[in-house]
Amino acid sequence: MSTVNTFKEIMESDKEFPTELQSITFQILSSNDTAHMEAIFYNLFSPEPKPKPHSEALAFLQCSKKHHPDLLFIKLFFLLRCGATPLTRANSARALHLLSQPDIWPKLKPIAQASLKAHFTAYLKEETSLHVLRLVAPVLAETLSIIYKDHQQQWPELLDLLVSFTASNDDKSRETALLVFANLRKDCRLRVSDALRGAVPVLRTSFMESLGSSNADIQVAAFGTVVSLVRLFSDPCVFHELLRAMMVAAFALLHGSDGSYFRRAFAEMVRLVMEEPAPLKPYASDMVLDVLQIVESDAGLSIETQQAAFELVMAMTEVEDYATVLKSHNHQTLVRVFMIPMKMLMFVEDEDDKKEKDGCGVYKVGLKWLNRLCVTVGGDIVVNIGCHILNIFLDSPYWKKRHAGIALLTVLSKDFSDEMVMRENFLMEVVAKFFKSFQDCHDRVRLAAFSFMQMPTNFVQAMHVLYHHRLMHAFAAALDTTHNYKVKEQTASAMLFFLKTTLPDSLTLYKNADVITNKFLSILKGKEGAKLRSIALVTLNIIAQQCHELAHKYCASYLPILLEECQDNNSEIKEEATRGIRICAELGTPHLKPLVNRILSYLSSVLIKEPNHSISENAKVYDIAVSVLGRICEFHRDTIDGSKIVPAWLSCLPLKNDLIEAKLMHEQLCLMVKRLDKDLSGAGNQNLLKVLVVFLEVIDNGDKLGSPQTITQMNNLLRQLGRNIPRTAINTVLFSLNDRQRELLLPFLAS
């Protein structure tokens, strides 16, 4: 945000000011002495202001604006016209710009308004400093806008002067007039244009001359003026003449300056595209070709200048009227259009973790523009263009081009997966080239490739289904050949995503699936980074659940490693390692028996350490540990003392933090109650109350803590218990419950 805009926000403050300050401001504003105001200007606009004087100067202006706005406006204008030095006059203009004129001008008396109009007109003829006039132009434009916004007011004297200035041979006068017109507020341009209808021939000639001027400042100001007063030129021939003059001027600025003038001029062209699409639409197609000619030129343009030019095409993507124009171009032209952001995607750093540089900003803009172009062009057209460009970029000997190709593939697959899959030979052509990226010689390309494979799109899903054998082989090979930790992490993550989203039997179809298991086990043994180990554990757990053959090998070769990983400080690693033990337990593997005591010891430490488990960072670990205990009770009862362990497990229910484990355990509890598990009920049904409490809490949470089937089973079991429990026992149970639990239980007892 600019300093002026920041000041403007502060000036809008509605705070109260002391009476003493109000009095001081009145005295200074009423005085003929200019020294006080010059000191205030110095403290306010100094390049290195001191905090206290700066805040006092700002408070003076705020107080003046609130309590003496008319005096402040007149005082500043007096200094603008009569200030002894250009600096004083420039600072007066800056201060005027900070005021909100729509609030002040209407409050001035008609005689004051008439006087100021006359002084303004005279001042423009007298001011010798172009620098000051450039600061005054926006202030004068706002005043003119306010006057013409009210149908009852006009300022023909100023308009006549400005028209004569535009036709003047004096560059200072011409630029001033153009800047005033260029800065007119949007909501009053039509009314000002109506007032200028009689001057169209003069303005047309002077604007054409200004656009062709040898003075770059005048040329740029003329661009803004044409945009502001474009409705003056409703005659298509005149508009066409001005538009072509603007493009010729743009090319002249492009080759005759450092690029800053061109960028400012073309920013006005972009404004024209956004604000006045109707008259421009017939010329939009030619303008796209002009932009391409600029951006593709061999003139050694800076990337900033190229971006400024292409911004015009991107502006067209935001205006509905231009969408059909863009799509109407032939294939070759559209490829040229898409190549511009593609080249910007080559501004990528050699290493992923380098601090952001200018090039990174270019890359982000290129990616944003590519997205917008794809959405605007859309459908089969964009897929055809994408296929053409991908064939060039993915096969390039330059890694930045290959990286950009994957970025394009990513953008396309977000919105056009179905078109990509349905297009004849697209999958075959692109995938063949894309697979090479997994073994690319550059880490950034491999990172991009494995990141792409984790996108939840139909195109990636189609690759999973059609090429699952090749993908598994590619992932496995990449894990072996990469020595970059980030690449290895992304490779493992891509494989995990594949296993989560593809067909459950993909592993069984893959002949060397046990090789995959061994690779992830070696990652755990190697104690590589926490994130990678966490991914490895999740992957191994999924493999164990999808492929029982491999699961038994997995359990045989950690269980000891799983127990070791359970001691890690990282909560994610602890969660997945504990979940791995639960999976091994429910498989009923005999390899667990020798380790039961170690497992129980670990579980005991978790359950004792986490008395406030619901608010602990290890809350999920607690729930999974309870789930392990439950699975040991269910599948390995012969290795434990069930009369002690089963009630201990029951005492930890219900689970509420890990909803996957919660649903598993609450389903298991139903099954155990249904079969009248003796260890669960305890001697004399002493654990019945706890079972009831768990059932009621699960039911009270809807389907959050239990599947619909589990909730139904619990309801049925509660009805059975309600019919079979003696009345005296019921009274004891009710007495032990809280109000909410009694409210939930009573309907089951009544039935």
Q: What pLDDT is recorded for position 72? A: 86
Structure tokens at 254: 């492009």
Burial status of residue 608 (CB atoms within 10 A of its CB: 0-12, 13-18, 19 or more): exposed
588-610 average pLDDT score = 81
Helix 19-30 vs helix 69-82: angle between axes, to the nearest 10 degrees? 30
Cβ–Cβ < 8 Å for 161, 118: no
21-47 average pLDDT score = 85
H helical segments located in 353-398: 358-377, 379-393
Residue 293 C-alpha from the chain's centroid: 32
Q: What pLDDT is recorded for position 156? A: 93
353-362 average pLDDT score = 61
Give the amino acid at 690.
K
Q: What pLDDT is recorded for position 277? A: 86
φ/ψ region of 503 (left if φ > 0, alpha if ψ in -120 to 50, else beta) reads: beta
Q: Could you tell me which residue, 408 or 554, shows the higher pLDDT?
A: 408
Q: What pLDDT is recorded for position 344? A: 94
458-475 average pLDDT score = 88
414-443 average pLDDT score = 88
Q: What proportion of the chain, given as a percentage, has pLDDT over 70? A: 93
Tens of pLDDT, residue by residue over 114-150, are: 888 998 899 999 999 999 999 999 999 999 999 988 7
Whether the pLDDT of residue 619 is over 90: the answer is no
Whether the pLDDT of residue 1 is over 50: the answer is no
Exposure b/e, 653-676, CB count within 10 A at least 16 = b: bbbbbbeebbbbbbbbbbebbeee
C-alpha distance from residue 258 to each of 139, 300, 478, 509 (Å): 29, 11, 48, 63
Exposure b/e, 303-325, CB count within 10 A at least 16 = b: bebbbbbbbbbbbbbebeebbeb
Q: What pLDDT is recorded for position 511? A: 62
Cβ–Cβ < 8 Å for 554, 540: yes
Whether the pLDDT of residue 42 is over 80: the answer is yes
- Length of the chain, please? 751
Where does the pLDDT of residue 751 fall: very low under 50, low under 70, confident under 90, or very high at 90 and above? low
654-673 average pLDDT score = 93
Q: What pLDDT is recorded for position 653? A: 92
Whether the pLDDT of residue 353 is over 60: the answer is no
Q: What pLDDT is recorded for position 545? A: 82
Whether the pLDDT of residue 263 is over 80: the answer is yes
Structure tokens at 151: 């149908």
Whether the pLDDT of residue 549 is over 50: the answer is yes
Confidence (pTM): 0.81
183-188 average pLDDT score = 91
Where does the pLDDT of residue 504 fall: very low under 50, low under 70, confident under 90, or very high at 90 and above? low
Q: What proportion of the chain, given as a percentage, has pLDDT over 90? A: 44
Nearest one of 372, 379, 435 to 405, comparing CA atoms: 435
248-273 average pLDDT score = 89
Cβ–Cβ < 8 Å for 408, 354: no
Where does the pLDDT of residue 3 fall: very low under 50, low under 70, confident under 90, or very high at 90 and above? very low
Whether the pLDDT of residue 5 is over 50: the answer is no
Cβ–Cβ < 8 Å for 272, 261: no
Tens of pLDDT, residue by residue over 364-376, are: 999 999 999 999 9
Q: Could you tell me which residue, 555 or 574, shows the higher pLDDT?
A: 574
Whether the pLDDT of residue 592 is over 90: the answer is no
Most confident of 397-411, 624-638, 680-694, 736-750: 397-411
Q: Could you tell me which residue, 354 or 99, shows the higher pLDDT?
A: 99
CA atoms within 13 A on the CB side of 66: 19
Where does the pLDDT of residue 17 fall: very low under 50, low under 70, confident under 90, or very high at 90 and above? confident
Where does the pLDDT of residue 505 fall: very low under 50, low under 70, confident under 90, or very high at 90 and above? low
504-516 average pLDDT score = 65
Candidate from 37-41, 67-71, 356-360 with smallest mean pLDDT: 356-360
Maximum pairwise Cα distance, the chain: 111
Q: What pLDDT is recorded for position 631? A: 92
Q: What pLDDT is recorded for position 15? A: 66
Tens of pLDDT, residue by residue over 55-82, are: 888 888 888 888 888 888 888 888 888 8
Q: What pLDDT is recorded for position 503? A: 65
Backbone phi, psi, residue 136, to 5°: -75, -30
Burial status of residue 394 (CB atoms within 10 A of its CB: 0-12, 13-18, 19 or more): buried
Where does the pLDDT of residue 506 fall: very low under 50, low under 70, confident under 90, or very high at 90 and above? low
Burial status of residue 259 (CB atoms within 10 A of its CB: 0-12, 13-18, 19 or more): middle
Q: What pLDDT is recorded for position 427? A: 83
Whether the pLDDT of residue 16 is over 90: the answer is no
Whether the pLDDT of residue 611 is over 60: the answer is no
Where does the pLDDT of residue 594 fall: very low under 50, low under 70, confident under 90, or very high at 90 and above? confident
Whether the pLDDT of residue 356 is over 60: the answer is no
511-519 average pLDDT score = 74
Most confident of 125-134, 322-331, 559-568: 125-134
Whether the pLDDT of residue 551 is over 90: the answer is no
